[in-house]
Amino acid sequence: MARVRTEDEIGILREANQIVSTVLKTLSEAVAPGVATIDLDAIAEEIIRSRGAVPSFLGYHDYPNSTCISVDEVIVHGIPGDRKLQEGEIVSMDVGAHYKGYHGDAAVTVQVGEIDDLRKRLMTTTNKSLARGIQQARVGNHLEDISRAIQETCEQEGFTIVRNFVGHAIGTEMHEEPQIPNFVTGQRGPLLREGMVLAIEPMINAGTPEVQLLDDGWTAVTADGQPSAHYEHSIVVRPDGGEILSSHPDLVWGREEVCET
């Protein structure tokens, strides 16, 4: 069962997530052919520390960097390095910030230059699945209502859901219980109560859902080399659906009205 947070706690979680969303906005503007992923990581760390926070990911289970930068066939946990972005790729950027004892966590996928129709559809569908999952994060629903909305949205478009990685509750720890699968498990899961804070994060593949882990022990790639997309928001369960804590006015994702345009 996820903890029910007080409005004071939610206020700090909102601050932490606004740091994250500012980083993602800046990184999205910096994405271009020829940019190395390690340079994006450096930008992120500088912003996080300048806001009085520290990167949640750095040192987490010995993870070596401040962000996860996952390009094209990399699903999640891509370690920033010398890889330079190329025209036609998509890049998922996952950022966490630890601020006043609480964690913010969000991710967005953006295109590098012009991309093909497959990648456009993949991004739109993953974004839409997040939006529909957030809509189900309402008081009186169960956790599986979120999972079902994500799965149905994905599979209607012929894409597949990664089952090796899931969302999670978030608060004073980055990963708290319960886990939030992006697929139906047959278990309804906890009843959703107002004030629960959840990080919802569909990871959707263009081809097989199967995953391979690289030798670095972190980088997860699609088994068939097809692209993958990843969107994430930290939200609060409310009577009318999830309130997004990690939104940014100039970088809008995870909202149904945006997905439909």
| Stretch 225-252: mean pLDDT | 95
Cα separation, 20 vs 37, whole angstroms: 17
Q: What is the pLDDT of residue 250?
A: 85
Cis peptide before 227 (omega within 30 of 0): no
Residue 127 has pLDDT above 70, yes or no: yes
pLDDT band at 254 (very low <50, low <70, confident <90, very high): confident
pLDDT digits (tens, 9 = 90+) for 66-96: 999 999 999 999 999 999 999 999 999 999 9
Q: What angle do CA 2, 8, 14 make, to 5 degrees?
A: 75
Q: What is the pLDDT of residue 205?
A: 98
Residue 110 has pLDDT above 50, yes or no: yes
pLDDT digits (tens, 9 = 90+) for 158-185: 999 999 999 999 999 999 999 999 999 9
pLDDT band at 227 (very low <50, low <70, confident <90, very high): very high
Q: Which two tokens stand for residue 142?
A: 């169960």
Mean pLDDT computed over every residue of the chain: 96
Parallel, antiparallel or unpaired: strands 220-222 and 74-76? antiparallel
Cα separation, 192 vs 143, whole angstroms: 7
| Stretch 20-35: mean pLDDT | 98
pLDDT digits (tens, 9 = 90+) for 46-72: 999 999 999 999 999 999 999 999 999
Residue 150 has pLDDT above 80, yes or no: yes
Domains of the chain: 7-259 (3.90.230.10)
Cα separation, 127 vs 106, whole angstroms: 13
Q: What is the pLDDT of residue 2?
A: 84
Q: What is the pLDDT of residue 261?
A: 36
Residue 48 DSSP symbol: H
pTM over 0.75, yes/no: yes
Query: Which is higher by pLDDT, 165 or 251?
Result: 165
Lowest mean pLDDT among 101-110, 144-153, 242-251: 242-251
Q: What is the pLDDT of residue 255?
A: 77
Q: What is the pLDDT of residue 223?
A: 98
